[in-house]
Amino acid sequence: METQPELNFNPVHGNVLESLPTYLIFELSAHNHVVANMVKLSGEDCTVFTVENNIDSLVQTLKEYDLNPSVRDWTIGAEMLKLKEIRKYCRIIVTTWHESTLTKRKWVLGFNILRSNLQILCIRNSVKWHVSSYLDIHRLLSRKLMLKEHFFAVNSFLLSRFMIMRAKRIVVESRMQLDFMKHLAFVRSIKMETFPGRLSNFKPVRKIGHLCERSDNNDLVLGFLGTCNEDRRDINLVSDVISSLSKTRNIRVIWLGGVHKETAKDLLIRNFPEITFTFPSNKVWSEHDFFDFSSSCNFLVSPLNYDWGYDSGMSTGSLADAIALEKKIFYPNFVNFGQEFDDFVVYYRDCRNLCNQITALENSPESQDVPSATSLANFSIENVRKMLFMD
């Protein structure tokens, strides 16, 4: 890893030197593409803090977008926020916060974020900010555990609610999540905005790695988005779609999401030995390869599994992917992302309906299978920056 720009701060002595960044961005998970887009929106005048095992990966993702902010362990950011001058001067962006009981150190970080200028708080899975937090506490209180465990469970729950109250902007990924959040306590008076996490006019600077093989025999190429996981994706529907469409066409399948467990991947390969499957070579795609391989897909499908909670407050990054890829995407009709995404989303009822729609679009060259320029412009750098950063 190349040397990152040094941050003018000494956490040991507490010295605040000149040239502090305007924004401090905290990513306590691994939504690295979201961080890249937020760095761009912030004008690149920022320092990013993340968990230790994500630093190298995040630096690499930022490089793919030709971005080079300082990336540091989140504990350095936590030390910085202990200083009143930094809490007053720097604006805080939280791209992913924890959605469960916090450790003591992360609870202290959250408390200091509350005392700071919290500009933007991004909610990834809003259902967990309510249901799971409550259930975590209920389970704790139903067992004979130490008082300390009760304390951190309850106070983690409360801290998340006060962060919602304190933030200048609450950012959710869809209208569905926004409606869900409105029913939570402390939310009604907060300014909420919808931004899935990717910009329509911000792409990796160059494509590297092995290029996707372009088909010379007019194959139908299907791109399935999201984690290849039986819990989150309807693998049975995927199998039915492949089986149905392959009866009349040569098809190829590119899985445009991560593969952290091999079960679903192995099942598909075993059931369809005649089909060419492409999965990420290292569990997840690099941004360059993601954009390159997706460009060869005729259609994008997000086969969400109903049981995972996508009909309420659970998020899916595939909507953001469709915006960045400038392509329409098929979703099951039990989700509703709101009218603002109607130009990006095509809903299906079941396998038969999905296959019929794919066939109809493929056989109708005059049909509009890409979002309009107006819809894409809504998620441009300029417009999203005005929405999130202008008072």
Region 9-202: CATH code: 3.40.50
Dihedral, 325, 283, 228, 367 alpha carbons, nearest 10: 20
C-beta of residue 25 within 8 angstroms of C-beta of residue 34: no
Separation of CA 94 from chain center: 13
The DSSP bridge pattern shows strands 299-301 and 9-10 to be: unpaired
As a whole number of angstroms, the distance between CA 167 and CA 119 comes to 6
The reported pLDDT for the residue numbered 75 is 96
Q: How far apart are the first and last CA of the chain?
A: 37
- Pairwise CA distance, residues 78 & 122, whole Å: 18
Q: Domains of the chain: which residue ranges?
A: 9-202, 220-377
Q: What is the pLDDT of residue 217?
A: 63
Give me the residue label for tokens 């002595």: 13
Please give the CATH topology (third level) of the domain spanning 220-377: Rossmann fold (3.40.50)
Under 8 Å CB-to-CB from 331, ≥6 apart: which residues? 302, 304, 337, 345, 346, 347, 348
pLDDT in single tens digits along all 391 residues of the chain = 444 545 555 544 445 545 789 999 999 999 999 999 999 999 999 999 999 999 999 999 999 999 999 999 999 999 999 999 999 999 999 999 887 788 889 999 999 999 999 999 998 887 667 666 656 666 656 655 566 677 777 888 888 888 988 999 999 888 878 887 877 766 666 788 999 999 999 999 865 444 555 555 678 999 999 999 998 999 999 999 999 999 998 999 999 999 988 899 999 999 999 999 999 988 889 999 999 999 899 999 999 998 887 776 777 889 999 999 999 999 999 988 888 898 999 999 999 999 999 999 888 765 656 888 999 999 999 999 999 998 7
How much is the pLDDT for 10?
Answer: 53
**What integer pLDDT is reported at residue 179 of this predicted model?**
80
Say what the pTM is.
0.88
Measured CA distances, 27 to 14, 75, 93, 154 (Å): 23, 12, 9, 23
Residue in the structure block whose two tokens are 């970080």: 109
| SS3 of the chain | CCCCCCCCEECCCCEECCCCCCEEEEECCCCHHHHHHHHHHCCCCEEEEECHHHHHHHHHHHHHCCCCCEEEEHHHHHHHCCCHHHHHHCEEEEEECCCCCCCHHHHHHHHHHHCCEEEEEECCCHHHHCHHHHHHHHHHHCCCCCHHHHHHHHHHHHHHHHHHHHCCEEEECCHHHHHHHCCCCCCCCCCEEECCCCCCCCCCCCCCCCCCCCCCCCCEEEEECCCCCCCCECHHHHHHHHHHHCCCCCEEEEECCCCCCCHHHHHHHHHCCCCEEECCCCCCCCHHHHHHHHCCCCEEECCECHHHCCCCCCCCCHHHHHHHHCCCEEEECCCCCCHHHCCCEEEECCHHHHHHHHHHHHCCCCCCCCCCHHHHHCCCHHHHHHHHHCC
CB 334: neighbour CB atoms within 10 A?
A: 11
Domain 9-202 matches domain 220-377 at the CATH topology level: yes
pLDDT recorded at residue 80: 95
